Amino acid sequence: MLERAGKEHHAPIWSAAAEMLSRPRSSAVQVNLSRVRHAAGDAEAVFVPGKVLGGGSVDRKLVVGAFSFSESARSKLKAAGGSPLSVEQFLARYPKGSGVRIVQ
């Protein structure tokens, strides 16, 4: 789905994300919320090609798209007014990938 979106919208960010998700499970991406918070700019959307874990705190609204979220990460993002989005939802909101930062 990500590769298709990259080709349709001429967005190389989605092709790169698809490549990261296709890696072997032993090198899967797992990122804590603290890392997502530090990597996110002022108004950027963040995409994690893997799983977002609940380590750390969130002090502002963040739009985060990921393959999966831990329950604590999902609840912390919602409590801060942010949006934890699935890959499909994130692609629908940011089809061209502009303003999106990949965190791994």
Check residue 26 and give its pLDDT.
76
Calpha distance 28→37 (Å, rounded): 20
Backbone angles phi, psi at 89, to 5 degrees: -65, -40
The Cβ-side half-sphere exposure at 100, using a 13 Å CA radius, reads 23
Calpha distance 64→80 (Å, rounded): 12
Whole-number Cα distances in Å, 55 to 25, 34, 84: 21, 6, 15
User: Which residue range is the domain that position 75 belongs to?
Assistant: 2-102
38: CATH: 3.100.10.10
Minimum mean pLDDT range among 2-11, 34-43, 57-66: 2-11
Check residue 43 and give its pLDDT.
61
Please give the tally of structural domains in the chain.
1
Q: What's the pTM value of the predicted model, to 2 decimals? A: 0.87
Residue 68 scores a pLDDT above 70: yes
